[in-house]
């Protein structure tokens, strides 16, 4: 395995669907001995503030700018992590606005669907739970639990919000090449997030990576949280085949999920080119 600074390039704060504030994430990263961290909230970079940068510096953590962007490839939802992005670049600022609008439209549709199912809620209720973050399905589930309309978040997803359920509304996401273009224009590195979570065959995954490289993608997550060694070998081989730099992250959302604990992903295989070499 590649010797490298301890890092986590995929985690979430309450600015999207995580449970911890960006400040608490930095504190946890310091406790775990991380030296590099990217907070990759869904379609927002609200976590990145001057105060957070100062906190990371004091903790001797290199804070790498990041975001996990939603897009479409062959009508399938794919996530691309952008790393080391110029967050102030005009192209990326506009992109964040467009993604926020897409999420807002999706939230309105989910609200309408749940109301038709007989649940009592308004979008304003959900936005209060999300706070300054973008509204996602977990916020709807949390509201239904808080108001005793569902016994648990798991039950809310099973009945109304999970994959294939009425509240599983697909947003009007941009195409893969558009998202990679945004990241590249802002000087960042585009990375395919959790490649094995899309429930596609290896042949389709290879097709995805072919397109990804053609439109300017430079990396892929070889390790996402806790995964089996054979999965890591498969992804390492694909990274080599497509000459993609290898990234790794926990996909941390909240404490108590051992499969996605911050800073606990295993080291990259030796044959991989570490993603940070593209900007260090």
Contact criterion met (CB below 8 Å) for 92 and 182: yes
Q: What is the pLDDT of residue 172?
A: 87
Q: Report the chain's mean pLDDT, rounded to a whole number.
A: 94
162 secondary structure, DSSP code: S
Q: What is the pLDDT of residue 133?
A: 77
- Tens digit of each residue's pLDDT (9 = 90 or more) over 12-62: 999 988 999 999 999 999 999 999 999 999 999 999 999 999 999 999 999
- Tens digit of each residue's pLDDT (9 = 90 or more) over 174-202: 999 999 999 999 999 999 999 999 989 99
Report how far residue 71's alpha carbon sits from residue 82's, in angstroms, rounded to the nearest whole number.
12
Contact criterion met (CB below 8 Å) for 160 and 117: yes
Reported confidence tier of residue 1, pLDDT bands at 50, 70, 90: very low
Average pLDDT of 243-253? 96
Q: What is the pLDDT of residue 176?
A: 98
Average pLDDT of 261-265? 89
**What number does CATH give the domain 96-161?**
1.10.150.650
Residue positions counted in the chain: 280
Nearest to residue 53, comparing CAs of 68, 69, 37? 37
Nearest to residue 83, comparing CAs of 180, 156, 226? 180
| pLDDT reading at 2 higher than 80 | no
Q: CB under 8 Å to 5, separation ≥6 — which residues? A: 35, 36, 62, 276
Q: What is the pLDDT of residue 135?
A: 87
Residue 220's SS3 state is: strand
Reported confidence tier of residue 4, pLDDT bands at 50, 70, 90: very low
> For a pLDDT cut of 90, what percent of the chain falls above it?
86
Report how far residue 88's alpha carbon sits from residue 78's, in angstroms, rounded to the nearest whole number.
24
What CATH topology corresponds to 7-88+175-278? TIM Barrel (3.20.20)
Q: What is the pLDDT of residue 83?
A: 98
Helix (H) or strand (E) holding 222: strand 219-224
pTM, whole model, 2 decimals?
Answer: 0.89
Which has the minimum average pLDDT: 3-7, 24-28, 43-47, 78-82? 3-7
Ranges of each domain in the chain:
7-88+175-278, 96-161
């Amino acid at each position: 395995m590649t010797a490298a600074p301890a890092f986590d390039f995929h985690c979430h704060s309450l600015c999207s669907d995580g449970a911890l504030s960006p400040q608490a994430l930095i504190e946890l990263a310091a406790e775990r001995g991380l030296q590099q961290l990217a907070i990759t909230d869904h379609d927002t970079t609200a976590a990145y503030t001057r105060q957070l940068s100062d906190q990371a510096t004091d903790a001797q953590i290199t804070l790498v700018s990041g975001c996990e962007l939603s897009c479409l490839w062959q009508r399938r939802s794919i996530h691309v992590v952008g790393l080391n992005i110029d967050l102030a670049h005009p192209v990326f600022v506009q992109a964040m606005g467009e993604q926020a609008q897409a999420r807002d439209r999706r939230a309105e549709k989910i609200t309408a669907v749940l109301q038709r199912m007989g649940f009592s809620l308004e979008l304003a209720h959900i936005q209060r739970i999300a706070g300054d973050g973008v509204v996602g399905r977990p916020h709807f589930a949390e509201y239904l639990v808080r108001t005793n309309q569902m016994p648990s978040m798991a039950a809310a997803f099973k009945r109304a919000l999970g994959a294939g359920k009425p509240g599983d509304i697909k947003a009007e996401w941009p195409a893969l090449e558009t998202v990679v273009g945004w990241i590249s224009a802002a000087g960042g590195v585009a990375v395919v997030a959790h490649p094995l979570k899309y429930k596609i065959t290896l042949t389709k995954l290879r097709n995805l990576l072919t397109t990804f490289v053609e439109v300017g993608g430079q990396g892929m997550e070889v390790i996402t949280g806790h995964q089996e060694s054979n999965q890591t070998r498969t992804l390492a081989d694909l990274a080599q085949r497509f000459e993609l730099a290898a990234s790794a992250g926990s996909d941390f959302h909240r404490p108590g999920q051992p499969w996605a604990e911050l800073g606990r992903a295993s080291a990259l295989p030796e044959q991989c080119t570490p993603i940070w070499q593209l900007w260090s």
